[in-house]
Amino acid sequence: MTEAGARALLDAVVGVAGQLLLPDVLRHTVDSARELTCARYGVLAEVLPGNRLGKVVEAGDSRPYAGPDELPAGPGTLAVPVHLDGGEYGRLCVTGGDFTDWDREQLETLAAAAGIGIGNADRHERALRRERWRDASHEVTFALLNGQDSTTTLHTIADRARVVADASGGAVALPSDTDPDTLVFEVIASPFPEYKRLLGAIVPKEGTASGVAYTSGKPVVVSQYGGHAAVQQANSGLDIPETIKHLDSAIAVPLIVGTETLGVLLVVRFRDRDPFSEAEVELVRDFAAHAALAIEFARAAEDRRRLVVFEERDRIARDLHDLVIQRLFAIGLGLEGLGRLATKPEVATQLTGFVRDLDRTIRDVRNSIFSLQEPAEPHGGVRSDLLRMAQDSTRLLGFEPRVSFDGPLDAAVTGPVRGDLLATIREALSNVARHAGAGSVSIEVDVDRDGRHLSLTVVDDGVGFPAESVRADGLDAVRRRAERWHGALIVEPRAEGGTKLAWTAVLSG
C-alpha cells in the first residue's frame, strides 16, 4: 500500500460518508470502486428476499452479464457484501481488471463506508419525510383557521397527502347517506384529469381496502390496487380511466376521532413507482389522525354557522306562514268569489286560472317554509332526507339543486321504498356531476293524494346523457329499483337541452 493509495481510499470513504441522499451515496460508491481498483465496470445491487436483486447502480462499460437478476462472476471479478443494521443490504462488485489483495481490502473498506452512508441517508430521508408530513398537517390547520369549510378541507387533505406521499392520487371516502354498507369517494385529488371521473364511486365496506380500513380502524396496504378497483367498478356505470390498471401500491387509512370513524384517506402510486414502505404507512396514519381532527373541527365550525342561519331562517319561516300565506289564501278566496259573480265566461275562466296559480304559489311557499325549518330537525322524514341530500350534493355538482315535493311523502314513503328513492336520486345526481356539465338541476318528488303512486323527476340543463350510459349496464340498478315497486324508469333528452330522468313506484295495490 502506497501513501497515495491510502489517501485515495480515505478520500473515497469520506466522500461516500458525506453524501446525504441515497442515490448520491450509491453513485459515489460505485464510481469510487472503479477508480480505486482500476476496473472497467462496477455495480452495486440491493439484495431482496429470495436472494433477488433490486435497485442497480452501475458505472463503466456496458453490463458484462445477461440479466438484471445476476452479478458478474468468475475470473477478473471482485464482489463484497454491503451491510446495513446487521443484515446484508446489497453487493458491491467490480470486473474487468487484474485485481490484488489490496484491491479487495479497498473494496471491503469502501463497502463498510457505503453501509454507514446508506444508513445516514436513510435516517436523513426519514427526517425529511416527517418534516414534509408535519408541514402538510400545518397547512391543513392553517386552512381551517382561515375559515375553510369541510368540503374544501377534504380536498386540502387529499391533495396534500398525495403530494407529500409522492403518490399518483389521493382520495377521501365517507360513509354513504343511503346505504350503511358502502363508502362514497367524495374527493379525488390527482394531476391526471381523467381520474376526476371516479368522483362519487361507491365501494362496499366488505372486501375492499377502503372498506376494511374503515371497519377495522387500521391501515390497509395493498398492491395491484388498480386491478382490484377496475374489477369492483366494472358494472358501476363510471367511465373508468384506461390507466387505472397501472395503479399499484396503495395505503387506505381510517380517519378516526375518538371512537368515531369519519371516513378513509387513500393514497396510491402507479406501478413504476416504489411501493409504500412501513415507515411511510406510519407517517400517513399520523397525518390521517391530524386530518380527522381537522375534519371534525370544520364540521363543528359549520354547525355553529348553521345554528345562526337556522335561527334566522326560523324567524323568516314564521313570518311567511303568519303573513304571506294567510294573505295569499285570502286573495284566493276573493278571486273565487269574483269568479262566481263574473258574467262573462272568459273572465270566469281567467279568474279560475289565477286561483290555480295562487294554489301552486302557496304550495311552493309551504315547501320553502319547510326547507327553512327542516335543518334544525336532523331526524325528519323523507322530505328532510331530500333537502339534506340536495345540500350534500353541492360537493359533487358545484351548486345546490332545486327540490320540490307534493303529497303525503313522509306518511307514504317509508321503509325499503324510501331507501330506493334516495339511492335513485343519489345515482341521478352523481350521473349529472360526471357527465352533464350542468348549471342547474331540479328534483321533483310527488305522491298522489291517495298515497298509492310515487313519481320522481330529475331534470338538468347539461349537455345530455351519454348514450352508452343509458344502456342497461349504466342505469341497471336504478331500473331494478323501479321494477321492484312495479314502476318504470325513463331517461330521455330534453328539447331545450339536458336530460330528464323519470322514475316511478307503486306504493300500494
DSSP 8-class letter at 275:
P
* Structure confidence at residue 455 (pLDDT): 93
Q: For 277, which DSSP code?
A: P
Query: Are residues 119 and 254 part of one domain?
Result: no
pLDDT digits (tens, 9 = 90+) for 44-57: 888 776 666 666 77
Any residues with CB less than 8 A from the CB of 84 and at least 6 apart, and which?
A: 115, 118, 119
At 187 the pLDDT is 87
CA distance 191 to 349: 61
Residue position matching grid coordinates 377495522: 216
The answer to whether residue 508 is domain-embedded is: yes
Same domain, residue pair 236 and 270: yes
The pLDDT, as a whole number, for residue 457 is: 94
Query: Taking the mean position of all CA atoms in its chain, how far away is CA 462?
Result: 24
Tell me whether residue 323 is in a domain: no
Cell digits of residue 319: 313570518
Nearest to 208 by CA among 242, 183, 175, 189: 183
Beta-bridge partners for 69: none
Using the 3D structure, point to which of 125, 153, 174 is the last residue of a domain. 125
For residue 87, the model assigns a pLDDT of 84
d(CA 290, CA 288): 5
pLDDT along the chain (509 residues), means of 10: 74 79 86 88 80 71 56 80 86 87 89 87 77 74 66 83 87 85 89 85 90 93 90 79 89 90 92 84 85 76 66 65 65 70 71 71 62 49 80 79 83 84 87 79 88 91 64 68 90 87 85
In total, how many domains does the chain have? 3
Q: Which three cell numbers stand for residue 285?
A: 396514519
Contact 286, 161 (CB under 8 A): no
**Whether residue 114 is found in the same domain as residue 152:** no
Is residue 361 in a domain? no
Residue that is last in its domain, among 245, 269, 298:
298
Same domain, 55 and 153: no
Task: Please give the backbone phi and psi of residue 496, each rounded to the nearest 5 degrees, phi first.
Answer: -85, 5
Cross-strand bridge partners of residue 46: 90
* pLDDT of 473: 44
For residue 375, the model assigns a pLDDT of 47
Tell the residue number behind the cell numbers 314502476, with chain if given: 487
Q: Does some domain include residue 500?
A: yes
Instruction: Say if residue 51 is in the same domain as residue 178.
Output: no
CA distance 199 to 192: 13
Closest CA to 476 of 423, 438, 401: 423
Same domain, 406 and 264: no
Give 86's DSSP letter: T
**Within a domain: 367:** no
What residue numbers bound the domain in which 423 lies?
A: 381-509
Amino acid identity of residue 165, one-letter, is A
Query: Could you tell me if 237 and 213 are in contact, meaning their C-beta atoms sit under 8 angstroms apart?
Result: no
Tell me, what's the pLDDT at 257? 86
pLDDT recorded at residue 217: 92
For residue 332, tell me if it sits in a domain. Answer: no
| Residue 145 neighbours by CB distance under 10 Å | 9
What is the three-class DSSP state of 300?
A: helix
Q: Which one-letter amino acid corresponds to residue 212? A: V
First vs last C-alpha separation in the chain: 102
In contact, 445 and 478? CB cutoff 8 Å: no
The predicted pLDDT at position 269 comes to: 92
Q: Are residues 501 and 409 in the same domain?
A: yes
What is the distance between the alpha carbons of residues 91 and 110, in angstroms, rounded to a whole number?
Answer: 12
- H/E stretch holding 233 reads none
355 belongs to a structural domain: no
497 with 413, same domain?
yes
Q: What distance lies between CA 423 and its chain's CA centroid?
A: 20
Give the domain-ending residue among 68, 94, 125: 125
CATH number of the domain within which 456 lies: 3.30.565.10
C-alpha cell at 25: 451515496
Q: Which helix (H) or strand (E) holds 493?
A: strand 489-493
Cell numbers that stand for 290 in this block: 391530524
Strand order in the sheet with 77-84: 52-60, 41-48, 87-95, 77-84
Q: Which of 2, 66, 65, 57 is nearest to 30 (CA)?
A: 57
Q: Which residue has the cell 330534453?
A: 494
Q: Give a yes or no: residue 391 inside a domain.
A: yes
Q: Domain check: are 500 and 389 in the same one? A: yes
Q: Are residues 388 and 291 in the same domain?
A: no
Residues 399 and 428 in one domain: yes
What does DSSP assign to residue 10? H
Note whether 279 and 230 are within 8 A (CB).
Answer: no
What pLDDT was estimated at residue 372? 53
Indicate if 259 and 149 belong to the same structural domain: yes
Q: What is the CATH number of the domain that holds 178?
A: 3.30.450.40
Interatomic CA distance for residues 176 and 457, integer angstroms: 22
pLDDT at residue 66, as a whole number? 45
Beta-carbon count within 10 A of 238 CB: 19
Q: How far is CA 190 from the centre of its chain?
A: 9
